[in-house]
Amino acid sequence: MDKNIEDRFKVLEQTLNSDDFLKSRGLGNEVGYYIFDYNPRDELVVREYVRNLKNQNAPETNGYTLQVFNLYEIMMEFIEQKGYLSKIVQMEQKHGIKFVASRINRLLKMEEFDDAQMYFTEYIGERVVDDAVVILTGIGEIYPIIRAHSVLNKMHLVYTKRPVIMMYPGEYDRLRLTILDTNRDANYYRAFRIN
């Protein structure tokens, strides 16, 4: 990433204010999925920026509602509602994080590509408004339990009306996702990088 985070925020704001972005023009019939990748060291700055961006959003002026969904918070809400939190803590102590990650993936139906009822898409689908630009956060917090490409692969099941931006703590080179500057997450080529 060649620009500092403040310069990247300016590019993001320009993108959000672009009519082409809001109408997904120039994407060759692709769904408007975008990745805003950033240095993981900037995580707290990015969180504050997204919070301010949401608070300052004026749908009557901007022409869209900005909705932010934190995937970690969604996952934890689900786990707590189901009463699984203490079981998951015990599983992690006994079997490790990889075992817990596979169980949570199964619980949230992350590996069932034909299942439109996957928990994240259902959750977002029930709450997103028609004119919304969606920002997904919490990607670093849910790693390695949930992978970014798994969520992006399913977003088209729930929302295609306006762009979706994933705030990604790592690097996206338009082909591969590398999370937290350490582990290559997966190949993913359907999203556009905001740079």
pLDDT for 111 beyond 70? no
Task: Give the model's pLDDT for residue 102.
Answer: 80
- Is the pLDDT at 27 greater than 60? The verdict is no
**Structure pTM?**
0.85
Residue given tokens 């969904």 in the structure block: 69
Q: How far is CA 86 from the centre of its chain?
A: 26
pLDDT of residue 32: 83
**Please, which pLDDT band fits residue 115 given cuts at 50, 70 and 90?**
very low
What is the tens place of the pLDDT at every residue in 149-194? 777 777 776 677 788 899 999 888 877 788 876 766 656 667 888 9
Q: How confident is the model at residue 28 (pLDDT cuts 50, 70, 90)?
A: low
| Neighbour tally for 185: CB within 10 Å | 21
Q: Which H or E element spans position 44?
A: helix 43-56
